[in-house]
Structure 1
Amino acid sequence: MNKLFLIIFACFLAASLNSCVVLSTKKFNALVAQRDSLSAGWDQANVKIGSLEEEVQRLKADTSRMNSRIAELESKVSGLDKNYALLRANSSSEINKLSEDLKKREARLKEVEEALRKRDAATNALKEKLQQALLGFKQSGLSVDIRDGKVYVSLTDKLLFSSGSIIIDEKGKQALAELAKVLKTQPDINISVEGHTDNQKVVNLGQIKDNWDLSVLRATSVVRYLTEVQKIENNRITATGKGQYQPIDAANTPEARSHNRRIEIVLSPKLDELYNLIK
């Protein structure tokens, strides 16, 4: 750049000489000073231009990086939009499915509640019928109550048997006959006959060795009377012996032992419909 400037200045000087103009020393020095000033300005301009060119390159590089970053973010946003749309579609489908499942569960719950209501109503009605039918035996130690959705007819041993015997006496047969009349009108009722004893050791009863034997044989005697004499269906009834292990009175007194010696006839509705509902 300096050489070009000098060439131009020389040409200017030559032209001045050719015009036959004689320069004074003062003018010449002024021209030289002007040349130096222009040269310095030119150098400064070149430095500034170089700096600006570097700034332009830096800005271009930054712009390129920013464009790449923008493209990357746009790609991520696009992916997020797709994922959100997919998630929303899946969530909507899942919500609809859960809603349908909830409706089905609510419908089934209503069915179960209705089945339980019917069972409870039938159980209460059965209890009322039995209480009316067996009212005359209440003073002899017979009671009817409901526990856990089942009707319990409890007969003390003195109503059915002589002491240590497994043979049902006449008064006991009368009570069982009245019970059978009600049971014959209730074909959907299952019957379980449970024998219970007190905690006194069995002695001198021949083939009956202990309270287990006594409780089982007494329950079996009742079952036989109900099935063979009163013609209750065999597939509706079972006999079990509980021995002394489920007392209703824990006191060790003659009265408590009398309460514990009993036959309990447990009547429960068939729950096949209810079981099918809750599967």
Structure 2
Amino acid sequence: MKRVVAIIAVSALALTSCGTKKKIADLETKNKECQDLLNTATMKLNLCLSEKEKMNEQNDYLKKINEDLKKNNADLINNVGNMTTLTQQGAANVEKALESIKEKDLKISRLQDALTKKDSVTLALVTSLKKSVGLDDPDINVNVEKGVVFINISDKMLFKSGSYVVTNKAKEVLGKVAKVINDKPDFECMVEGHTDNVPFTGNAILIDNWDLSVKRATAITRVLTQELGVNPKQLIAAGRSEYIPLVENNSAENRATNRRTRIVIMPKIDQFYDMIEKEMKNLSKK
């Protein structure tokens, strides 16, 4: 009986040992499966962590780009504002410059008009001289230089050699010149005496060519005022001696050309400038 019990006990122990091994084997299999799953999960986790790190880096990079874009956008908006201001200022400056140019052009136009009026008066004076005076004598020459009328009269028509007494023939010519001057009360008339370079021998009254040229100018001035009715306020007497010759004093003919009286007829300079000043005041009022 004891032997039977022992056999049964051994058999039970053997059966129990076999069951345990099988469970252990199953557990080991499941453990291996879990380990494989853990290894797989760990790999996936590491991969996700790696991808997360890359995404964070990309996110930081994109944030920096976004900040740069915002800054650039703000700068552009500021620049646009500045450009608008500059454009407005530039437009205002251009407008001021155009106004200034327009004003200067108008002033120049006014001055040109004033000069044109002066030239027109001068031209009318020359025409009047040539028509009314009839100065077709070769010893009388009328010309215009820079808006001024010059009448050159040879001394052989006006004076005898070395004399400052006006001849009767000269008074006829001077009478025609006086008529023109009297028609232009706003003009001035300068009477200039010119000699050649032959030294004057001198006498009790005349000392040199300066004296002779001045005496001849004042003699003609007296005829114009005392005998021909010219207003003395319009006349200027001047002696130029030998120092403004028309030609070289190298022959008798040339010296005769240089011995002359020049009558300069011109608008009064102060009146001319008054006219310009008036035009400038008119411009400033506009």
TM-score category of the 2 structures, normalised to the smaller one = 0.7 to 0.9
Partner of 2:7: none
Distance 2:21 2:204 in 1: 168
The question of whether the paired residues in 2 share the 8 Å contact of 1:164 and 1:205 is answered with: no
Partner of 2:11: none
Q: Tell me which amino acid in the other structure corresponds to 1:185.
A: D
Partner of 2:273: 272
Distance 1:46-1:143 versus aligned 2 partners, 3 A rule: same
Q: Tell me which amino acid in the other structure corresponds to 1:45.
A: K
Q: Tell me which amino acid in the other structure corresponds to 1:22.
A: K
Question: Taking structure 2 as the reference length, what is the TM-score of the superposition?
Answer: 0.76
Partner of 1:11: none
| Displacement of 1:269 | 2.3
| Displacement of 1:265 | 1.0
Count of residues in correspondence between the two structures: 259
Distance 1:26-1:133 versus aligned 2 partners, 3 A rule: same
Partner of 1:185: 183
Mapped pair 1:213 → 2:211: yes
Gaps (5+ residues) in structure 2? 1-18, 282-286
The question of whether the paired residues in 2 share the 8 Å contact of 1:112 and 1:274 is answered with: no
Question: Taking structure 1 as the reference length, what is the TM-score of the superposition?
Answer: 0.78
The question of whether the paired residues in 2 share the 8 Å contact of 1:192 and 1:238 is answered with: yes
Superposed CA RMSD: 3.1
| Displacement of 1:278 | 6.6
Gaps (5+ residues) in structure 1? 1-18
| Displacement of 1:212 | 2.9
Which one has a bigger Cα radius of gyration?
2
| Displacement of 1:174 | 2.4
Identical-pair percentage? 27
Partner of 1:119: 118
> Which deviations, in whole Å up to 9, do the C-alpha atoms of 1:62-96 show, x marking residues without a partner?
23322332232222222222222222222333333
Which runs of structure 2 are paired with 1:132-147 in the superposition (5 Å)?
A: 132-135=131-134, 138-139=136-137, 141-147=139-145
Which runs of structure 2 are paired with 1:30-45 in the superposition (5 Å)?
A: 32=32, 34=33, 37-45=36-44
| Displacement of 1:26 | 9.7
Partner of 1:160: 158
Distance 1:130-1:199 versus aligned 2 partners, 3 A rule: same
Structure 2 SS opposite 1:22: helix
Distance 1:46-1:234 versus aligned 2 partners, 3 A rule: farther
Distance 1:205 1:278 in 2: 55
Q: Tell me which amino acid in the other structure corresponds to 1:81.
A: V
| Displacement of 1:254 | 1.2
- Superposed structure 1 runs of 4+ greater than 6 Å apart: none
Partner of 1:4: none
Q: Tell me which amino acid in the other structure corresponds to 1:275.
A: I
